[in-house]
Amino acid sequence: MKPKRSFASDNNAGVHPRVMEAVAGANDGGHVIAYGDDPYTARAEAAFREHFGEGAEVFFVFGGTGANVLGLQSLTAPHHAVVCAATAHVNVDECGAPEKFTGCKLIALQTADGKLRPAQIEPCLARAGDQHHVQPKVISISQPTELGTVYTVEETRALSAFARERGLLVHMDGARLANAAAYLGATLRELTAEAGVDVLSFGGTKNGMMYGEAVVFFDPQRARDFKFIRKQGTHLPSKMRFISAQFAALLAGGLWLSNAAHANHMARLLAAELARVPQLNLTQKVESNAVFARLPPEHIAAIQKEYFFYVWNEETSEVRLMASFDTTEEDIGELVRVIRQAVG
């Protein structure tokens, strides 16, 4: 029996066939110089510049936590603070890597929807210039957020404008940025460079790649030392071409967008189905590939036995269901059937 496609995480999915082909293809090239000085990497970098603007400087790393913490490290000194949502991956899901790598404090703000707004950040700046206190330097946002919501381009711009005004910088955790782009119908450049983002983690793994993420700088000056930060940060892949080839496959023919759009579509479909189950409450807007819902706690275990997923918040009995690039309508039908059966 073919294993079921899970709704636990887009990390549970495998690799998109076209990405897998690209990986295999990169192996046909025989020997190439290691550490990125190879034609596959040159092509992938060119693809990034096409999507993010000519001034974009891109650095490939192994994974998303590495991309986030090294990006943050490039923007901060240890006495700085990083302002983020309490739900941010950098705050809760990286086992303290940001603190360990940067030495900075994270100032984690409670939000209803995972999104930061300038008015919330303003009070954190009250002690600017006072030597006793950490100095906020970076606003780190996740796009989409860990709650599946998406910042509009205007919202991102408002944060960036606030940041500029107050001497702060903007970091974007775009582990699923493609899903935000698909939702908003905006280009990657509009969502990042043109919206005032300074450093971006651009994710590939959750969108059909095997491994590999990118750190993208929109001001070449900020990228100057990043090659050293990446290497010292243990994220300089020796056989770089195999990450580069994946990114090239993703970005070249629109695969990044169609994968994300499909996952978003499946999430909306799932949400629509769940909305019709009276025992369930959707708790967040479905703007990307995540569906958050409150389930009767007594039924969760039974459903998880058939379809493993994560309980997001034990106290509120809220669960997270993620669609992937390879989720099918049949999968959704089957999950909804299991849920309906469980909740009776």
Using CB under 8 A, pick the residue from 22, 23, 261, 293 that binds a second copy: 23
- Return the bridge partners of 3, or none: none
Of 32 and 336, the one with the shorter C-beta distance to a second copy is 32
Of 51 and 206, the one with the shorter C-beta distance to a second copy is 206
Give me the numbers of helices (H) and strands (E) for the chain, helices first please.
15, 11
Q: Is 126 in the site for a second copy (CB under 8 A)?
A: yes
Chain residues 212-271 in contact with a second copy, contact rule CB under 8 A: 225, 227-239, 242
In whole angstroms, the minimum distance from the beta carbon of 54 to a second copy comes to: 23
Q: Is 132 in the site for a second copy (CB under 8 A)?
A: yes
In whole angstroms, the minimum distance from the beta carbon of 145 to a second copy comes to: 17
Chain residues 144-173 in contact with a second copy, contact rule CB under 8 A: none
Chain residues 314-333 in contact with a second copy, contact rule CB under 8 A: 314-315, 324
**Judged by CB under 8 A, which stretch of 91-99, 151-159, 257-265, 277-285 contacts a second copy?**
91-99
In whole angstroms, the minimum distance from the beta carbon of 184 to a second copy comes to: 25
CB burial of 135-153 (b: ≥16 within 10 Å; e: otherwise) equals bbbbbbbbbbbbbbbbbbb
Using CB under 8 A, pick the residue from 35, 50, 118, 299 that binds a second copy: 35
In whole angstroms, the minimum distance from the beta carbon of 284 to a second copy comes to: 21
Are 4 and 332 spatial neighbours (Cβ–Cβ below 8 Å)? no
Using CB under 8 A, pick the residue from 56, 83, 104, 116 that binds a second copy: 104
Q: Is 141 in the site for a second copy (CB under 8 A)?
A: no
- Bond from prior residue into 220 cis (ω within 30 degrees of 0): no
- CA proximity to 71, closest of 237, 247, 230, 234: 230
- CA proximity to 242, closest of 86, 67, 23, 73: 23
How far apart are the C-alpha atoms of 185 and 97, rounded to whole Å? 33
Chain residues 266-295 in contact with a second copy, contact rule CB under 8 A: none
- Return the bridge partners of 60, or none: 214
In whole angstroms, the minimum distance from the beta carbon of 111 to a second copy comes to: 16
- In the β-sheet with 169-174, what is the strand arrangement from edge to edge? 57-61, 213-217, 199-203, 169-174, 135-142, 80-85, 105-109
Using CB under 8 A, pick the residue from 42, 77, 128, 301 that binds a second copy: 77
- In the β-sheet with 290-294, what is the strand arrangement from edge to edge? 281-282, 290-294, 318-322, 310-313
